[in-house]
């Protein structure tokens, strides 16, 4: 009896539909863990790139020289650097075409807003997959459980003597589907909440930098004009 209630025995002897449910949950779990590891690396590199660029930006280096350096060798996952590059490039271009300071700043800020939107897309990439796995996996597992229990009681109805030993394997294999659903959902939900908070934090830093950079350029365009 103990051998028959082993996890592998229950999975291998489950119904075809229940096995398909289990397989889908395994694939969802593997996919979500792949996204988790990829996102952890991305946020770590983005944070490192942000700290490095801020140190260079606030060191007093000439902005034109800084722009040349970051354009010559862009940093991977450098979101703040990309916002700076987009803003300074547009600022320089508009300064050569117009003497209207307000028009120059409006175009510069619009360019930085576009860059901010692109950075948000990068940070939020694959997060919907984690949200989907976290919200649907328990229900998929529950569906497998309900189906397995239904088949167990259907088989029990065909026997003359109903005993716990007769129904226990079927119910056990059905409950494995629920356990697998929770196993897939819990890490996905935790990771989604954590990455969403990190995305919000980094975007606030980017937006704050964009405002400070706009103030610097605003002073420059009005002093020169």
Within 8 A by CB and 6+ apart from 23, the residues are: none
Answer yes or no: is 2 within a domain: no
Query: Is residue 23 situated within a structural domain?
Result: yes
Q: What is the pLDDT of residue 108?
A: 92
46 falls within a domain = yes
φ and ψ of 101, to 5 deg: -65, -40
Distance CA 173, CA 155 (A): 14
The pTM of this model reads 0.82
Whether the pLDDT of residue 121 is over 80: the answer is yes
- In the chain, % of residues over pLDDT 90: 57
Has residue 1 been placed in a domain? no
The answer to whether position 177 is within a domain reads yes
Question: To the nearest whole number, what is the mean pLDDT of the chain?
Answer: 86
What is the total count of domains within the chain? 1
Identify whether 208 is part of a domain: yes
In a domain, 194, yes or no: yes
Q: What residue has token string 């196993």?
A: 183
Provide the domain limits for residue 83.
Answer: 7-224
DSSP annotation string for 96-128: HH---HHHHHHHHHHHHHHHHHHHHHHHHTTHH
Q: What is the pLDDT of residues 18-56, one digit of tens each?
A: 788 888 999 999 999 999 999 999 999 999 999 999 999
- Please indicate, yes or no, if residue 211 is contained in any of the structural domains: yes
Structural contact between residues 167 and 153, judged by C-beta atoms closer than 8 angstroms: yes
């Amino acid at each position: 009896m103990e051998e028959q209630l082993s996890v592998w025995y229950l999975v291998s002897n489950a119904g075809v539909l229940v096995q398909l449910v289990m397989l889908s949950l395994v694939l969802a779990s593997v996919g979500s863990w792949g996204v988790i590891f990829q996102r952890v690396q991305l946020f770590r590199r983005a944070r490192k790139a942000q700290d490095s660029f801020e140190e260079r930006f606030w060191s007093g280096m000439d902005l034109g020289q800084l722009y040349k350096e970051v354009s010559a060798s862009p940093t991977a996952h450098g979101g703040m650097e990309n916002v700076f590059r987009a803003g300074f490039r547009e600022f320089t271009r508009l300064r050569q075409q117009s003497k209207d300071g307000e028009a120059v700043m409006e175009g510069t800020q619009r360019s930085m807003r576009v860059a901010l939107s692109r950075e948000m897309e990068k940070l939020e990439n694959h997060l919907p997959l984690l949200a989907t796995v976290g919200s649907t996996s328990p229900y998929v597992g529950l569906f497998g459980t309900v189906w397995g229990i239904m088949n167990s009681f259907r088989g029990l109805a065909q026997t003359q003597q109903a005993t716990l030993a007769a129904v226990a394997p079927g119910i056990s294999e059905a409950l494995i589907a629920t356990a697998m659903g929770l196993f897939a959902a819990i890490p996905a939900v935790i990771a989604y909440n954590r990455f969403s908070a990190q995305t919000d934090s980094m975007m606030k830093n980017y937006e704050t930098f964009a405002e400070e950079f706009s103030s610097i350029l605003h002073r420059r365009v009005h002093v020169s004009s």
